[in-house]
Amino acid sequence: MKLLVTGGTGYIGSHTCVELLQAGHAVVIADNLSNSSSAVLERIARIAGKAPAFHKLDLRDAQGLQALLQRNPVAAVMHFAGVKAVAESVADPLKYYDNNVNGSLTLFAAMREFGVKRVVFSSSATVYGAQAVSPIGERAATAPANPYGRTKLMIEEMLRDLCTADPEFRAVALRYFNPVGAHVSGLIGEAPQGTPNNLMPYICQVAAGKLPELRVFGKDYPTKDGTAIRDYLHVTDLARGHVQALDYLERVPGFSAVNLGTGRGTSVLEMLQTFERVNQVRVPWKSADRRPGDTVITYADPALAGTALNWRTQRTLEDMCRDAWRWQKSGLAD
Ligand code: NAD
Ligand code: UD1
């Protein structure tokens, strides 16, 4: 199948391009490089043995998108492109509504014009409200707590409405829990700009001596060691979920939302200790206040992904820590 991958030079998109190419698909990437580098293209090709096509394009450029789809008849779209920093979305909501919602609207309109009727969308567990009780199933109420999460839900609703309007249009929204780690080759991974907000890249930078210590946000939560619990999954497992979602769309009409997670909760201290143990490296840390807006315990019920997509995670927390550290040490993360 020939596919358009928006945001394909980014963290999750680049890992998915590798899996798509290795599964025999042809890949055309559209990315404006606002949070990634074209240097990743050659590394995707090195791992997969095949190169993706690349077009530097902003999704809000309707004419550019139309020209791209005219020249590249694609069977489906994998839609990763978007901005994703929660705190920035609170400070500058219009940036998020413009980039994520407008960008998606422009993309879906171009798809309609060129008769492309399959889309896999990067959604997030952040669409569930803070009240959701773990394990969280897809039927849990949605109530995102910030503008970023609201853009994800709005895009899901747009896709749901498109599927109702056109019975041939099919969409699956994959609700990711906490993707971490890097490709086992050490050639691609997450390259956050500035100081990282998320736990795993922060741990990596402390271990590498770039940051002095990890602040553990909250030590008095009602959990076994007092720190908050999340469902971390390896980015390669996540990428494979997208390949499975493509097969699923061939079989199942309409709109679906599917969680991608392990179904297991890991605390901040467990993550830290696992990282130190498997990598034989010290990660100094200290307790800090709870981070505003954080949930205590969030992990997935991934049963639907198992039955519908025939997907489950294969990589362990140890794999995630080992691969993240290999990528950090490669020097390519900087
Ligand atoms: P990323 O920033 O590494 O990748 C996003 C890519 O989209 C970047 O390469 C960026 O240059 C590009 N992009 C952004 N706006 C664009 C636009 N208007 N036009 C064209 N390209 C544009 O982020 P990621 O972690 O790979 O996330 C990919 C998707 O998954 C995002 O939609 C994100 O919201 C979603 N998601 C990520 C996580 C996570 O923890 N990383 C969790 C849940 C959902
Ligand atoms: C964050 C985003 C969420 C996104 C998710 C996946 C926020 C509020 N939420 O959630 O929208 O979908 O990432 O990438 O940003 N921690 C520390 N010290 C640190 C960093 C994190 O103790 O320096 C703790 C956090 O308090 C949390 C856990 O580690 O308990 C995981 O944090 P993080 O990686 O930021 O993920 P989420 O909070 O799940």
The CATH number of the domain holding residue 100 is 3.40.50.720
β-pair partners for 4: 28, 77
* Phi, psi values for residue 50, rounded to 5°: -150, 145
Name the residue with the closest Cα to ligand 2, atom 27.
Answer: 228
Once rounded to an integer, what is the mean pLDDT over residues 16-21?
A: 98
Mutate-to-test residue for ligand 1 from 104, 122, 150, 151, highest number of ligand atoms within 8 A of CB:
122
3 state DSSP class of 202 = helix
Q: What Å distances lie between residue 4 and 29, 81, 245, CA to CA?
A: 6, 11, 15
Task: Determine contact, residues 311/260, Cβ cutoff 8 Å.
Answer: yes
3 state DSSP class of 238 = helix
Name the residue with the closest Cα to ligand 1, atom 1.
Answer: 10
Catalytic residue among 11, 96, 128, 148: 148
3 state DSSP class of 175 = strand
Give Cα 238 distance to the centre of its chain: 8
Name the residue with the closest Cα to ligand 2, atom 22.
Answer: 216
| Protein residues whose CB sits closer than 6 Å to any atom of ligand 2 | 86, 124, 126, 178, 197-199, 202, 214-217, 228, 230, 268, 291, 293-294
Give the distance between the most distant pair of CA atoms in the chain.
Answer: 57
Residue 214 Cα to ligand 2 middle (Å): 13
Name the residue with the closest Cα to ligand 2, atom 2.
Answer: 86
With a 6 A CB cut-off, is 80 part of the ligand 1 pocket? yes
3 state DSSP class of 208 = coil
Name the residue with the closest Cα to ligand 2, atom 29.
Answer: 199
Ligand 1: atom nearest CA of 59 is 19
Sheet holding 170-176, edge to edge: 53-56, 26-31, 2-6, 76-79, 118-124, 170-176, 254-260
What domain count does the chain have? 1
Assigned token pair, 5? 């991958």
Q: Is the predicted pLDDT of residue 97 greater than 90, yes or no? A: yes
As a whole number, the mean pLDDT across the chain is 97
In a domain, 195, yes or no: no
Q: What Å distances lie between residue 179 and 7, 30, 85, CA to CA?
A: 16, 22, 14
In a domain, 148, yes or no: yes
Name the residue with the closest Cα to ligand 1, atom 27.
Answer: 12
Residue 333: pLDDT band (50, 70, 90) is confident
Residues in the chain: 334
In a domain, 294, yes or no: no
Q: Is the predicted pLDDT of residue 130 greater than 90, yes or no? A: no
Position 27 scores a pLDDT of 98
Position 166 scores a pLDDT of 97
Residue 101 Cα to ligand 2 middle (Å): 23
Q: At 266, which helix (H) or strand (E)?
A: strand 266-267
Once rounded to an integer, what is the mean pLDDT over residues 54-66?
A: 98
With a 6 A CB cut-off, is 19 part of the ligand 1 pocket? no
In a domain, 309, yes or no: no
Once rounded to an integer, what is the mean pLDDT over residues 188-211?
A: 95
Task: From 40, 1, 42, select the one nearest 21 (Cα to Cα).
Answer: 1
Task: From 292, 305, 235, 221, select the one nearest 263 (Cα to Cα).
Answer: 305
Residue 21: pLDDT band (50, 70, 90) is very high
In a domain, 46, yes or no: yes
For strands 229-230 and 266-267, give the pairing.
antiparallel
Position 308 scores a pLDDT of 98
With a 6 A CB cut-off, is 122 part of the ligand 1 pocket? yes
DSSP string, 75-141: SEEEE--S---HHHHHH-HHHHIIIIIIHHHHHHHHHHHTT--EEEEEEEGGGB-TTPPSSBPTTSP
- What's the CA angle centered on 22, arms 108 and 163, to 5 degrees? 25
pTM of the model: 0.98
Cα–Cα distance for residue pair 313/32, rounded to 1 Å: 31
Radius of gyration, alpha carbons of the chain: 19
In a domain, 317, yes or no: no
> Over the stretch 235-250, which tens digit does the pLDDT of each residue have?
999 999 999 999 999 9
Whose tokens are 């086992």? That residue is: 184
Which has the higher per-residue pLDDT, 307 or 294?
307
Residue 199 Cα to ligand 2 middle (Å): 6
Q: Which domain holds residue 43?
A: 2-181+233-261
In a domain, 291, yes or no: no
β-pair partners for 171: 119, 255
Mutate-to-test residue for ligand 1 from 6, 12, 200, highest number of ligand atoms within 8 A of CB:
12
Residue 331: pLDDT band (50, 70, 90) is confident
Task: Please indicate whether residue 148 is annotated as part of the active site.
Answer: yes
Whose tokens are 């969409």? That residue is: 171
Position 192 scores a pLDDT of 87
In a domain, 306, yes or no: no
> Over the stretch 195-204, which tens digit does the pLDDT of each residue have?
999 999 999 9
User: Among 57-61, 87-91, 152-156, 316-320, whose mean pLDDT is lowest?
Assistant: 87-91
Mutate-to-test residue for ligand 2 from 291, 298, 321, highest number of ligand atoms within 8 A of CB:
291
With a 6 A CB cut-off, is 9 part of the ligand 1 pocket? yes
